[in-house]
Structure 1
Amino acid sequence: MSQSTSTQIRLARRPTGWPVHEDFETATVEYGDLAPGEVRVRNEFVSVDPYMRGRMSDARSYVAPYELGAVISGGAVGRVVESANDSLPVGTAVLHQHGWTDVAQADGAKFRALPELAGVPLSVHLHMLGMTGLTAYVGLTTIAGLREGDTVFISGAAGAVGTAAGQIAKLLGAGRVVGSAGSPEKVALLTEKYGYDAAFNYKDGPVRKLLAEAAPDGVDVFFDNVGGDHLEGALAAMNDGGRLALCGAIAAYNATERPVGPSNMANMITRALTMQGFTVGAHWDKLPEFTERMSAWFGEGKIAYDETIVDGIDNTIDAFLAMMRGANTGKMLVRVGATE
């Protein structure tokens, strides 16, 4: 057994509006010898995600806010480098929620051993094979009840959840999949790599107009990661009996004033629409089903993905801030380093 130094990124104060570096602090922790049942894990990749911005606030939400002075918890993958737990020997690849740190040490029950698929990097368990992929799957199936032939609109389509949702929708039989993104390059990627039938740059004009052009026969399923004008545009385009799955509202995460709601909510009544918000944490029972299907799709070469990688645990804050401003294509990750 040996001691180890861990670098941790913690919440120093609650952000107002857009987060800044001063809202965070970096600390080091010395871990001593392992207690029985514990493991020490050196992270290889750490996740930065939009939902983390909500947890930096102390407003009521679906999960407890981050505590001031505490490490920013969230998904990370790494390998066991020391073990006092027979079920997690040294070298085991694991997933955990200890977040923005390079070394984590805790009881083995807080780590989940990961299967290693040939040709698939460990980082994919933080997106397509992990929480973001499961989020997309649950939203389309359990929440929206996707049917064969449906026209699906996905906002924020070039992000981690959006790139998963577009592909899953097509694999589940959607007739037409439309996405929005924030640059011409991302729009091209959606149609050329991710199988979207049409996509538009939401900065080119009103979402209502752009969506009407991309989906002239209307929308049956809306998977929303953005909110705001995207939700309003979708409500205008929904076909009778359409279903809206609300996953995120990134357009309002950093707002300092109360956002204006959609002006066309009456369409919910006149078109008999169903709208439901959801968080993936309430649907972990779907994980085995999702894992089986997504692993098969990977094995058949049917899944594409992108990773935007920032190197170094000390650059985690920069990665998070860049992701919040849409600098990522696919999943934004911090590469901590190789295992010892």
Structure 2
Amino acid sequence: MNNVIKLANRPAGEPQLSDFEFVTEDKPSPNDGEILLESKYISVDPYLRGRMRDVESYIDPFQLNEPMESTIVAEVVESKNSNFEKGDFVFGMLKWKEFQVSSGTGLNKVDPEKAPLSAYLGILGLTGLTAYISLEKIADLKEGETLLVSGASGAVGSTVGQIGKIRGCHVVGIAGSDEKLALMKDKFGFDEGINYKTTDDMTKAIAKACPNGVNVYYDNVGGDILDAALNNVNKNGRVINCGAISLYNEKEVPQGPRHEGILVKKTVLMQGFLVRDHAKDFGNAIQQLAQWLQEGKITHEETIVEGFKNTPQAFLDIFKGKNKGKMVVKA
């Protein structure tokens, strides 16, 4: 039999386990030109929350009573496709199924000898690519500048900070616990950290941690923290809008300060980023990230949850801040 996880309901507010359905179906068999895949590592990411809504976006919404999907590393357990052999490992956008067949389109082979398989969902996967490419395209980092990062202990944020240090920046991270701040400094090399959960005035806290102002703000959360960062932004500052996890479970769009005056007076660039728009750059980005990884210039942190059946709970735990670095399920 084959275990499958489907979307049962479109959540209003924070998702619950009851929004997912666990079903079993017959284990599939590949036809000519197809491969049979067994899921090994499953990525759970905040952006999946947006796909649970039936609204127009940059990627199609999940369909009710259909399997969820995300980036998955899988093993080829049977092949009727000349481009793949039994024992190959691949990653790509796949369904939340223990076993599934594929034509191989959109899948990339990965080498477990060069990096752990789970790394291809994190530092060498979409999260690492997001960090690297967005900084290259938008940030224009210069030595001596101040880089402020929210969600800094997460998979994207921790990579952004490390790249900032490689580029010679003063790097300040924002996270939700003292334990995460210690991780950012001790493992990822951040210069300063701010615990937003114990800070009454984020504008003042950022000013203290960034005495020369903020040249680049990397935003993974949106909301009040974005407001506070903009209150500290320098002339010709750059803001990269990568995520807005603080807003994903809101039932209505909250109203906040009007930032037009800051953007105009300080000639600030504020730009959204979607990594899927830059697929042509993936090869070079992975090569650079892999080189830095091998040279010890960057490292990564993972929270690995055991068991395919725990995939929905691992996804829910992201919104409670239970992950350090990349959240991955080992199927």
Using the size of structure 1 for normalisation, the TM-score is 0.94
d(CA) in 1 for partners of 2:121 and 2:274? 16
d(CA) in 1 for partners of 2:146 and 2:287? 25
Q: Does 1:284 align with 2:272?
A: no
Q: Tell me the residue number matched to 1:185.
A: 179
Greater displacement, 313-322 / 258-267: 258-267
Residues 16-58 of structure 1, C-alpha deviations (whole Å, 9 max, x = no match): 0000111110122224431111111111110100000010011
Structure-to-structure mapping, 1:120-135, within 5 angstroms: 120-135=115-130
Counterpart of 2:70, as a letter, is G
Say if 1:166 and 1:117 are closer, same or farther in 2 by CA, change over 3 A. farther
Displacement of 1:117 after TM fit? Answer: 3.7
d(CA) in 2 for partners of 1:253 and 1:219? 26
Q: Tell me the residue number matched to 1:85.
A: 81
d(CA) in 1 for partners of 2:132 and 2:319? 23
The counterpart of 2:29, out of the listed 30, 33, 41, is 33
d(CA) in 1 for partners of 2:261 and 2:98? 50
Q: Percent identity?
A: 42
Counterpart of 2:35, as a letter, is V
The counterpart of 1:203, out of the listed 197, 207, 210, is 197
Counterpart of 1:334, as a letter, is V
Structure-to-structure mapping, 1:34-53, within 5 angstroms: 34-53=30-49
Displacement of 1:204 after TM fit? Answer: 1.7
Residues 105-136 of structure 1, C-alpha deviations (whole Å, 9 max, x = no match): 11122422113344x21000001001000001
Q: Tell me the residue number matched to 2:242.
A: 247
Whether contact under 8 Å (1:228, 1:260) holds in the other structure is no
Q: Tell me the residue number matched to 1:112.
A: 108
Counterpart of 1:267, as a letter, is I
Say if 1:26 and 1:321 are closer, same or farther in 2 by CA, change over 3 A. same
Counterpart of 1:199, as a letter, is G
- Describe the SS at the equivalent of 1:240: strand
Whether contact under 8 Å (1:138, 1:286) holds in the other structure is yes
Aligned CA-pair RMSD: 1.3
Q: Tell me the residue number matched to 2:55.
A: 59
Displacement of 1:329 after TM fit? Answer: 0.3
Q: Tell me the residue number matched to 1:21.
A: 17
d(CA) in 2 for partners of 1:40 and 1:31? 10
d(CA) in 2 for partners of 1:299 and 1:160? 18
d(CA) in 1 for partners of 2:15 and 2:4? 18
The counterpart of 2:65, out of the listed 64, 69, 76, is 69
d(CA) in 2 for partners of 1:201 and 1:32? 48
Q: Tell me the residue number matched to 1:232.
A: 227
Residues 298-337 of structure 1, C-alpha deviations (whole Å, 9 max, x = no match): 111222111111111111111111112111000111111x
Whether contact under 8 Å (1:39, 1:80) holds in the other structure is yes
Counterpart of 1:252, as a letter, is L
d(CA) in 1 for partners of 2:187 and 2:288? 20
Q: Tell me the residue number matched to 1:293.
A: 288
Q: Tell me the residue number matched to 2:135.
A: 140
Counterpart of 1:73, as a letter, is E
Q: Could you list the runs of 5+ residues in structure 1 that have no partner in the other structure?
A: none
- Describe the SS at the equivalent of 1:9: strand
Displacement of 1:256 after TM fit? Answer: 1.8
The counterpart of 1:309, out of the listed 293, 304, 307, is 304
d(CA) in 2 for partners of 1:13 and 1:32? 26
Residues 193-221 of structure 1, C-alpha deviations (whole Å, 9 max, x = no match): 10101111001222212111110110111
Counterpart of 1:126, as a letter, is L
d(CA) in 2 for partners of 1:21 and 1:283? 33
Counterpart of 2:102, as a letter, is A
> May I ask how many residue pairs the two structures share in their alignment?
330
d(CA) in 2 for partners of 1:112 and 1:47? 15
- Describe the SS at the equivalent of 1:7: strand
Counterpart of 2:111, as a letter, is P
Q: Tell me the residue number matched to 1:94.
A: 90
Residues 42-98 of structure 1, C-alpha deviations (whole Å, 9 max, x = no match): 111101000000100112211111111111111110211111012110000110211
d(CA) in 1 for partners of 2:134 and 2:148? 12
Q: Could you list the runs of 5+ residues in structure 2 that have no partner in the other structure?
A: none
Residues 128-181 of structure 1, C-alpha deviations (whole Å, 9 max, x = no match): 00100000112211022222322100100011111111111222x132011100
Q: Does 1:267 align with 2:253?
A: no
d(CA) in 2 for partners of 1:189 and 1:150? 22
